[in-house]
Structure 1
């Protein structure tokens, strides 16, 4: 029987088909609305704004640079400390009443264009302009469509509303406020992405071998049970089906509809309390995943084999091994501790442990029966990812997938159903993350390939697993390359992974002439030696009688 907790873990995980994202900051404004032109062709960059109040180090805010004006210094040590002054009038749409001598002027957004504010501030003697947004997010400052001659000599930076108001309050309280403006460059590749790639590939690798070993053991056991069968052939792949959950074509198609509804629900209900609900659900699934993996791992050692094969009846759960009873308290305590401290900076370690255990458990329990189901499932997931990352912007005015993944509306760290590692050498910090769906869904196809290879007694070169595993690794690698080339904008990982894995499998199957059996049966037809022997004996007896 499949454990109820494992089924719950499957449901939670499959609905979390999230993309690989870079959580560098919240910037809104479509770039194609304001094409580049002379004087207005800067790349949008995040800007660090450390502050000093009366000479004492205070908060550090993050702003965004404008399309216009000079580029900012990239090194902190080269950026000047400059005093901040409030514009009068506050919108800086007319010449300021206060005389400026190189200060950075603090102005409010609105009433006139960004370039108008910058030109007026420059003429008044300001060395830079800080524009306070009217929302908590950042907005990309662009030039007006009818502006042709743009020659602005001071940098312009937008600050979120709360940051600008804090600076203004200090100045109104007669404090001396000074800031630095600089934009450190982000490394092309961070070590965190390398580790995340290894975690994703390693999870699928371990789960695939576990799944194939379980299927082979079940096939061997079934062959022994059917030793006296009179059938001509034995379909080994059908063995042990009660221990697995097989996905049907209908379920694969329904996935995209159910997952879309679930994602919209997350988007609409996203709040701190809803994130807490997801944390609880993740902890429950994590307990089941960690317990299954620990029991499976410890059972490999002869010291624990007796405990793993000795069972006791438990209410609601039926027969439970002593080894399971021994490891369950540890799993519960581990999950609860993570749930309590999941806001802490070190909580990503526990989240990754629970997440990897959950992924491996799901891939070991859930099977796709043939390549047809795998193709339908991955094709639906492929379209799902593209729609909710890119197309959803047309209806919701923002990417639903990215908002849900980052937890923008809840002001939390985002949903817990993903693997994450802090960006180690990125001056902007943040995390490199990958959703469970980007590992589980292609992982189902990779695990299927190894089960088929083992049951068909194929070696690595003659089989499909080596190529499917390599294709997944390359697809994920291309995802990270695209993520960095797109300047950290969220990318749907399945956009790259699905063509690599599914395309490789289909092409290789067609080339080898095995596509039909992979597509329909998904299991090699292996003749049973003892049945063949009995059949030949009966044929020999019949010949003698004739």
Structure 2
């Protein structure tokens, strides 16, 4: 189909763009490397700060509890509602000149240690300490290495800059502000993670079978033409497979290099209008993906409409079935874009995203394990650098900042699948970036095509084991999210060793690694040659 050929490079562009976000949780950053010690060994927990201004219910803010001090109540009904005061001096580094006995006090970060602020507030009779950060991120409050006076009997919580300044402004305007602090416990596993895992694995499963089925049909057609007319071999080699692009080692490296540049641009120029541009690009890709998937499904029932074409300016020959489906796909994407901030808009985003991923995995293919190793190896290093190492040069984890959509006023960029946390008292979404599905999916799709071409059974092939390995890798990412206090994790750090490792290991044990590495397909005798030999 000409329409499909025209879409190939647009889809490849989306493969590059989709490398942007990692799998993330709630983000809190380490402020120091100080070790745990007696009196400073609390777990870092998120804290809800419910506020009232002149007895009217106001905003609810989220902070992070300190390593030191007493722990907060887990249930809202057990938490006390307490008056909020400002300390004078505002940094809380000297005994206050104002009376704060029985109050929760609010201070600014800086000029002395966190524990010094907590000790001064406790000595003044405060019930709790709130520290306004000098940035919007939540930093973990820890103790200095040489501190010994750590018997702090009040809780300490850090607030984002905007939350602290909002409370300070209300107090300075003469209003009475009261707060309620509590820290509800998060479930170890939320059903959202389970569904997201099933969604990612299921997407790769569907895309792999579609890719393998298309490859089988193309091979059968190829063999039939060669059998009927062996002289057509040269012509077919010149044209190649319609609408399918094989990645080579150079393009595999370029994917990651270009993705790094695009990620850096997103980080530097992230804004409301930049995210709006990404939404438009996502809608274009989503329309193409949804249209391709629906045409492939409906063509079985409406074969005549799928095989009848009409010339359309700019797009070339387009089937009547595509023309009939396109308005629905466009309307679906537009409605999602307009209403994407409502609570259930994630459903539309996931539908468009899954359709786009399946389309990419059906069009873009790996020719062999050598290219897969280069692509996944580069992506593995890419994820580690932009999540873990980028703070050394940019003072932020670039990938996490982009995934959250900081400075954009949006709830993250659209190039990800997400599901709301149903049983989590903190709410929010479990998310996974397109790249964490697409890149391993290319290898898994290659494995199934190889298995079918080799006529391998399920257990003796590579597809089943690579898909299981992907599931384990993704599960390991969720385990890391839990043990790292919800800090964003590069999913490919876990997924790549599992998926690529199992294919390489099985290939080596079965003596097929050389063929997998270079040719990527089993030895096959052409039908016309086989006929001559008989």
Provide the aligned C-alpha RMSD in A.
2.2
Aligned residue in 2 for 1:541: none
Aligned residue in 2 for 1:330: 328
**1:167 shift after superposition:** 2.4
Residues 1:7 and 2:5 aligned together:
no
Aligned residue in 2 for 1:219: 219
Residues 1:35 and 2:53 aligned together:
no
1:222-261 deviation per Cα after TM superposition (whole angstroms, max 9, x unaligned)? 1111114569x99x99996233111011111222222211
Aligned residue in 2 for 1:368: 366
- Counting only pairs closer than 5 Å after superposition, residues 92-491 of structure 1 correspond to structure 2 as 92-228=92-228, 241-301=241-301, 304-491=302-489
Contact 2:8 2:243 in 1 (8 A): no
**Alpha-carbon distance in structure 2 between the residues aligned to 1:76 and 1:13:** 45
Contact 2:24 2:432 in 1 (8 A): no
1:253-312 deviation per Cα after TM superposition (whole angstroms, max 9, x unaligned)? 2222222112111111111111111111111111100000000011122xx111111111
**Alpha-carbon distance in structure 2 between the residues aligned to 1:471 and 1:139:** 35
Query: 2:490 is matched with which residue: 492, 511, 514?
Result: 492
**1:123 shift after superposition:** 1.5
Residue 181 of structure 2 aligns to a residue whose secondary structure is: coil
**1:68 shift after superposition:** 1.4
Contact 2:230 2:528 in 1 (8 A): no
**Alpha-carbon distance in structure 2 between the residues aligned to 1:347 and 1:387:** 32
**Alpha-carbon distance in structure 2 between the residues aligned to 1:313 and 1:46:** 58
**Alpha-carbon distance in structure 2 between the residues aligned to 1:239 and 1:463:** 31
1:164-217 deviation per Cα after TM superposition (whole angstroms, max 9, x unaligned)? 233233334443321111111111111111111111111111111111111111
Cα gap change, 1:6 to 1:426, in 2 (>3 Å):
farther
**1:129 shift after superposition:** 1.6
Contact 2:87 2:100 in 1 (8 A): no
**1:75 shift after superposition:** 1.2
Aligned residue in 2 for 1:86: 86
Aligned residue in 2 for 1:540: none
**1:20 shift after superposition:** 4.2
**1:5 shift after superposition:** 3.0
Query: 2:509 is matched with which residue: 499, 508, 511?
Result: 511
**1:73 shift after superposition:** 1.2
**1:346 shift after superposition:** 1.9
Contact 1:208 1:446 in 2 (8 A): yes
Contact 2:436 2:492 in 1 (8 A): yes
Gaps (5+ residues) in structure 1? 537-546
Contact 2:504 2:513 in 1 (8 A): yes
Contact 2:391 2:398 in 1 (8 A): yes
**Alpha-carbon distance in structure 1 between the residues aligned to 2:238 and 2:468:** 28
Gaps (5+ residues) in structure 2? none
Residue 141 of structure 1 aligns to a residue whose secondary structure is: coil
Cα gap change, 1:29 to 1:499, in 2 (>3 Å):
closer
Contact 1:48 1:182 in 2 (8 A): yes
Cα gap change, 1:100 to 1:230, in 2 (>3 Å):
closer
**Alpha-carbon distance in structure 2 between the residues aligned to 1:29 and 1:464:** 41
Farther off after superposition, 429-438 or 166-175: 166-175
1:412-453 deviation per Cα after TM superposition (whole angstroms, max 9, x unaligned)? 222111111111111111111111111111101111111111
Residue 223 of structure 2 aligns to a residue whose secondary structure is: helix
**1:455 shift after superposition:** 1.7
**Alpha-carbon distance in structure 1 between the residues aligned to 2:100 and 2:473:** 55
**Alpha-carbon distance in structure 2 between the residues aligned to 1:372 and 1:230:** 31
Farther off after superposition, 518-527 or 272-281: 518-527
**Alpha-carbon distance in structure 2 between the residues aligned to 1:206 and 1:294:** 14
Cα gap change, 1:367 to 1:54, in 2 (>3 Å):
same
Cα gap change, 1:531 to 1:146, in 2 (>3 Å):
closer
1:65-85 deviation per Cα after TM superposition (whole angstroms, max 9, x unaligned)? 112111111111111111122
**Alpha-carbon distance in structure 2 between the residues aligned to 1:15 and 1:22:** 17
Cα gap change, 1:170 to 1:227, in 2 (>3 Å):
same
Cα gap change, 1:85 to 1:458, in 2 (>3 Å):
same
**Alpha-carbon distance in structure 2 between the residues aligned to 1:277 and 1:299:** 33
Aligned residue in 2 for 1:543: none
**1:133 shift after superposition:** 2.5
**Alpha-carbon distance in structure 2 between the residues aligned to 1:95 and 1:23:** 38
**1:142 shift after superposition:** 2.3
Cα gap change, 1:289 to 1:106, in 2 (>3 Å):
same
Aligned residue in 2 for 1:539: none
Contact 2:415 2:433 in 1 (8 A): yes
**Alpha-carbon distance in structure 1 between the residues aligned to 2:153 and 2:444:** 56
Residue 99 of structure 1 aligns to a residue whose secondary structure is: coil
Matched residues, number: 530
Contact 2:8 2:245 in 1 (8 A): no
Larger Rg: 1
